[in-house]
Every structure is written in structure tokens, then in C-alpha cells.
Amino acid sequence: MLLDRRMRRLLLVALALAFSFLLLKPSARQSPPQPPVYQDDHPIVRFHPSSFDWWSSAKQHHPVPSLKHKLPPPPNSHSSVPTKPLHPVQFFFPPGYKPNNLTRHRRNAVKQAFVKSWTAYKRHAWLSDELAPVSGHGKTTFGGWSATLIDALDTLWIMDLKSEFYLAASAACRIDFSSGTAKDTTSSVNLFETTIRHLGGLIAAYDLSGEFALLEKAAELGGMLYTAFDTPNRLPPFWLDFQKAKKGGLRAGVEEPSAMAGSLTLEFTRLAQLTGEQRLYDAVGRVVDFFEETQNGTRLRGMWPRRVNYQDGGADEDGVFSVGGLADSLYEYLSKMAALLGRGRPERFERMWKGAMGVVEEYLLFRPMLEEDEVNEVGEQKDVLFAGEARVHEGGKVERVPEGQHLGCFAGGMFGLGGRLFGDEEYVKVGEKLARGCAWAYGAFPTGVMPEIFELIPCEGDWRDGPCKFDEDKWRKEGNKKLKKPFKSVRDAKYLLRPEAIESLFIMFRITGKKELQDLAWDMFQSVVKSTETELAFSAISDVAVQGPTKKLDSMESFWLAETLKYFYLIFSPPDLISLDEWVLNTEAHPFRRDSSGFITRGDFPEAPPPRPKPWKKKKPVVP
Ligand SMILES: *[C@@H]1O[C@H](CO)[C@@H](O)[C@H](O)[C@H]1NC(C)=O
Ligand SMILES: *[C@@H]1O[C@H](CO)[C@@H](O)[C@H](O)[C@H]1NC(C)=O
């Protein structure tokens, strides 16, 4: 076998040499770059340093006098003060539980959609940020550092497309992160997007594969992104502008999304854990300080506005609070930081998360006024929730705005995960209702897909009371007859291949073990494929409310491969694949290994475990 392989490799090398003589004439330089052809064993993934070394060469103009935050020591060391253990997240699927034929078939269909998209990217947009899925060319949208390639790395690994993974990983480790230098004149990068997509993607690919070159690349990029914190108050601006950075001229913004600085913590912390680089953890620790100090002083005490003033802690005065776009992952990362840090975690993440969620429950959640014949799989009237917006008026009166957003659909998973981690099953129930709300909204449109933004007629009263009675008069007065009851309007009818709805179904499936959630996911998947598929791949569409063929927008953002298809694949996979007890996913669905020093196995869990839903199928439950 060994000899065989070696001979084959020799032959391949000889052939490759011969071909390169024949084919690599100067004219070949004109054509767009082509991916290398995968051969035999995986190539060794080699690290190619960028032409600028950010850690040693970039001067800090506003250095920190000393580190204020250090990674928590392991809980068993004498210096540590371990906090309460976190509860296990996943439903107790019996050992040896395997998906059945139907689930395998579904999972395979998802993989096929991924392979189709990936193949088209390779053929038509290799090394570009994105593929244009209708016209078939590459787009530069995030600095030209192959966003789709990096974003897809861990999905390739998870879907067991290992040869493709190594090919892509090798290419990723050649990327030159030297912006703002003579070599690369990119003038600025989006700190948030580059952190969640590129840094998150490289870290997860390393955490899964153990290929060291990927960690080296991540560390290099971390050095570049760390320069964004070189401001007088050490809070980062939205744009990392390299010319300003060189002169020490970066300043925190005065009206920038709260999700921006709020969702760097997970990536910087994981990179700090892997490299021992405490400066990374300190940098985001100071951002958490900022949010902690301002949480109780906002117009809606407990939540942060969508845009904040990072210079004086003030907020924009539009008075709108939401867990949707601009703010979303700020909330998501509070509970996920606890998951990542485990037992040594600072206690404030739980406190801040619960403080905010209490306000979401009080002012944002609402029930759509559903008709009586809208029933769930056991024949009861559907009891679903949405997270809308709260608008604070002069004098402090709070108005609940019953608007739904695709971006806000992650909230179900967030409630579920935080509730389970912190041992409060009431949040878990809310999470499931939110997840089911978005799945219901998918089914409410002719394409079977939910739009970006819409408004619903809500029930009056407290959402804790369960479904309300449908009010025909109200519908006649306020409803939109062209839409399904009880929709009032669709403000943005596009679907951009977004993941948040399937994300929440996936997390709630892993938490509750309820198979119905897989069925909802399958309906969604089929609709998404049907309405977005192009000859080459899949595309954003302009209007989910059309009957018949949809209009394609020639856009396939990298999250389609990083998130949407990964979540669809995982919900139909054996539940120990990316178990939520071992991994925590960043807001771009990149899994980071949860710090093992903080990981509590079921065996040594000292408190009562969360109530277990009915055991899977007929198999005997196994006592942990
Ligand atoms: C599942 O697939 C296997 C092998 O393809 C087949 O033998 C078996 O009958 C199938 N089971 C069901 C329930 O369809
Ligand atoms: C904010 O208010 C909550 C609830 O009253 C409290 O637990 C928390 O400590 C406060 N945070 C700060 C920074 O004062």
C-alpha cells in the first residue's frame, strides 16, 4: 500500500512537471487563477507569511499602560476562583443514536447543494471574495482576501470533503494580509466583518483540523486587527483605516453599530487561548467594560441602542432598541463568551445577558395574531413568538413595534443556548417559540421563504398567556389583503440566503431533541433551494412574495456556505457532530472548541441536570 502510494505520487509529480512545461506559457498568466488539482494524499498545508508582520512592525501609538484583563486560569489551579459550572447544552441523545434513512437522505441533499455552490466558486471565482451566481464571475466585497474560501473551510471539513478542505486551506495560508503597505494598497477594512468571517473562519478551521499553518495565519490576521484598538480610549472604530493607523489617528466612532465592537470578543478570546497572547483578550475585555458600564444608563435600561457613541458612552437618539440588525450579535456573544470561557469565566457575562434578556421579554417579544386553524404537529394552535423592536418616546413611554426581521431570527437559538447554559428552562421555552415563529413565517409566503423585514398584527396582552383569538375586524382594518393573515406589510421582500432561521432551529433541535424541528427545517430547505437555485449555484432573490419564478439578484454572500448550508447539514447529522457541549459557534457559524479546562462532563456535574424531554424514540433512556 505504502509503496503503491509512493509510486503513484512519483508518477503524478513527473506528470505535473511535464504538464507545467507544456501549459505554463506566459499567456496563461492572463486567465483568472485556477484552483490546483487535488492529488492523492493531502498536500502539506504550509504557512506563507504576509509581507508585513503586524505584531512586530506595527507601532502602537496609544499603548495600554498595563493589561487590565487576563484569560482566566484553569479552574483547578490554586489562583483560580471557579464560577458555577455551566449546564450541559445538548439533549441527551442516547449513545449510538443514528439518524435514520430519511434524515440521511435530507443531509445528502444539503451536501449536494453545498458541493454545487463550492464547485462553481472554484471554477468561476477562485480566490475572490464572492461568486456572482448568475453571471459567473468573482466579486471583491471584503478586502479581496477570499472571503468565501475562508468562510467555507470548516464546512468543507464538517461535510467530510477533506481533499477540498486541504486544497482550500493551502490557498488560505498564502493570503497576504499586508494592507496599507506598498504591497497591498487596500485603504481600510471592515473590522467586524473581517473578524467574524476571516479570523473566525481560520480559527475554526484550525480548531477542527489541527493544521498549525491555519493558526499561524489566524495569529497574523489577529495582529492586523489588533491595530484597530490603537485609539486613545482603546475602543475600536468601525473601519480599520491603515493610513490613519500608521499615524496614530484612529478614533472610536460616535455613531456606530453596537454589534460591531460587541461581537469581537469570541474570536479574540479564542485566539488568545490558542496563542497565549493576552493583549488580544485585554483588548476585548475593555470593550466589555464599556458595555457593562453603559448597560444601565440607556433610555431602555438593560439594553443598548443600535448605534452607540463609543467616545463618550452616549447613544443615538432615535430611541429604537432591537436584537435585529446593528445590535444582534452583541447579545449573542454575551452568553457565548460564558460558553467559551467555561468555569473560570468572569461572572459578568451571565449578568449582562440576563439583564438584557429581561428587557427583551418585557418590551420586544410579541405574538402574531394567528388564525385558529394554524395548528402545530400535535394539533394545538400554534404558540409562536417574534422579537420586535422597542421605541422609547419622549417621557420614557415604550412602544412595542411588531416588526420581524430575518436578521432577528437568531434570537430563538440565543434564548435556547443561554437558557440551557445558565440553567433556566423558561428562556429555553421562549427560544423554541421564537424559532418556530420564523419557521412559520417562511411558510407564510408563496416561495416558502421569509422576507428580510415585515410587520405583523400582534396579539394584545401578555405573550405568556399563549395564543390569542383572531380578530377579523382588526385584520380588515390593518391587514394587507395580498398577504397571508396576519401580515400588515412587507418592508423589504428580499431573501439574501440568510442563515438565522435555520440557525435557531438547529440549536433548538440539539437542545430539545424534538424531531419536528427537523421537519420544519426540511420544508425550509426545499423552499430555499427551489426559489434561489441558478444554473451555477444559488442566489439572493428580490421578492419572496411572488407566485412563480423568482428574480435572482446575482449575489451569493459567503455566509451561504459558512452558515446556512452548515446549519442545514448539522440539523440532519448525528448530534455529536459539532456537539454544542464541546463547541461554541461564532456569529458566522464558525465552531470554536470550548475551553476544555472549563468543560464540565456530565459525570461530574454537581447540580441537578436540566429536565430531560421525552427520550428519543423507543430506546431506553440512559442515566448520565
Ligand atoms: C434504510 O436503508 C437500508 C439500506 O439502504 C434498507 O435496508 C432499509 O430497509 C431502510 N430502512 C427504511 C426504514 O427505509
Ligand atoms: C445594572 O443593573 C442590574 C440590575 O439592576 C445589576 O444587577 C447590575 O449590577 C447593574 N450593572 C452595573 C454596572 O451597575
Which atom of ligand 2 has the smallest separation from the CA of 351?
A: 7
Q: Is the pLDDT of residue 145 over 70?
A: yes
Check residue 617 and give its pLDDT. Answer: 39
Q: Which of 12-26, 299-313, 317-331 has the lowest mean pLDDT?
A: 12-26
Give the helix ranges, DSSP H, for 186-306.
191-193, 200-209, 212-226, 242-246, 258-262, 265-275, 278-294
- Which of 7-11, 456-460, 498-502, 590-594 has the weakest average pLDDT? 7-11
Ligand 2 mutation target, pool 296, 334, 359, 362, most atoms within 8 A of CB: 296
Residue nearest (by alpha carbon) to ligand 2 atom 2: 296
355 lines ligand 2 (CB under 6 A): yes
Percent of the residues in the chain that have a pLDDT greater than 70, as a whole number: 85
Cα 98 to ligand 1 centroid, rounded to whole Å: 13
Mean pLDDT of the chain: 89
Q: Which comes out higher in pLDDT, residue 261 or 16?
A: 261
Residue 143 has a pLDDT of: 87
Q: Which pLDDT score is estimated for 98?
A: 85
Q: Could you tell me whether strands 307-308 and 320-322 are parallel, antiparallel, or unpaired per DSSP bridges?
A: unpaired
Active site (annotated) includes residue 426: no
pLDDT of res. 129 = 96
Higher pLDDT, 74 or 343: 343
Express each pLDDT in 493-533 by its tens digit: 999 999 999 999 999 999 999 999 999 999 999 999 999 99
* pLDDT per residue as tens digits for the range 209-256: 999 999 999 999 999 999 999 999 999 999 999 999 999 999 999 999
Q: Among the options 130, 164, 216, 328, which is catalytic?
A: 328
Cell numbers 425550509 correspond to what residue?
Answer: 524
pLDDT for position 76: 65
Angle between helices 411-421 and 425-443 (to 10 degrees): 160
Backbone angles phi and psi of 364, in degrees to 5 = -105, -35
On the question of pLDDT at 9 being above 90, the answer is: no
User: Which of 292, 351, 352, 357, when mutated, tests ligand 2's pocket best, judged by the most ligand atoms within 8 Å of its CB?
Assistant: 351
Dihedral (CA of 414, 420, 421, 426) sign = positive
Residue 318's nearest CA partner among 392, 398, 238 is 392
Res. 618: pLDDT tops 90: no
Kindly name the residue from 350, 452, 543, 588 that is annotated as catalytic: 452
Does the annotation list 587 as a binding residue?
yes
Q: Is the pLDDT of residue 487 over 50?
A: yes
Per the model's pLDDT, the better-predicted residue between 85 and 74 turns out to be 85
Higher pLDDT: 406 or 79? It is 406
Whether pLDDT at 620 is above 80: no
> 289: Cβ below 6 Å to ligand 2?
no
Q: Among 295, 304, 347, say which to mutate for ligand 2: greatest number of ligand atoms within 8 Å of CB.
A: 295
Ligand 2 lined by 296 (C-beta under 6 Å): yes
Rounded alpha-carbon distances, angstroms, from residue 82 to 79, 89, 189 = 10, 19, 38
Q: What pLDDT does 38 receive?
A: 54
Average confidence (pLDDT) over 254-283: 95
Active site residue 328: yes
| pLDDT confidence of residue 323 | 96
pLDDT reported for residue 183: 57
Q: Name the catalytic one among 176, 193, 292, 582.
A: 193
Between CA 542 and CA 74 the distance in angstroms is 50
pLDDT tens readout for residues 16-70: 444 444 443 334 344 667 776 655 566 689 999 998 888 988 889 999 999 999 9
Contact status, residue 236 vs residue 256, Cβ threshold 8 Å: no
Of 186 and 381, which is predicted with more confidence?
Answer: 381
Res. 15: pLDDT tops 80:
no
pLDDT for residue 79 = 66
- Cα gap 538→541, rounded to integer Å: 9
Residue 293 alpha carbon, nearest atom of ligand 2? 13
- The ligand 2 atom nearest the CA atom of 296: 1
At residue 211's C-alpha, the angle toward residues 207 and 215, to 5°, is: 65
Q: Is the pLDDT of residue 606 over 70?
A: no
Helix (H, G, I), strand (E, B) or coil at 482: coil
| 326: its cell numbers | 446593528
Active site residue 211: no
pLDDT above 50 (res 614): no
Question: Which pTM was predicted?
Answer: 0.89
- CA 103 vs CA 368, 503, 519, 524, 527: distances in Å: 31, 17, 9, 15, 17
Find the 296 Cα to ligand 2 centroid distance in Å. Answer: 6
Q: Is 503 a catalytic residue?
A: no
Which protein residue has the closest C-alpha to ligand 2 atom 11? 296
Quickly state the pLDDT bin for 3 (edges 50, 70, 90): very low
Tens-digit pLDDT profile for residues 87-140: 999 999 988 888 899 999 999 999 999 999 999 999 999 999 999 999 999 999
Q: Which ligand neighbours the alpha carbon of 350 most closely?
A: 2
CA proximity to 456, closest of 384, 504, 523: 384
Alpha carbons 337 and 203: distance in angstroms, whole number:
16
Catalytic residue among 220, 500, 563, 588: 500
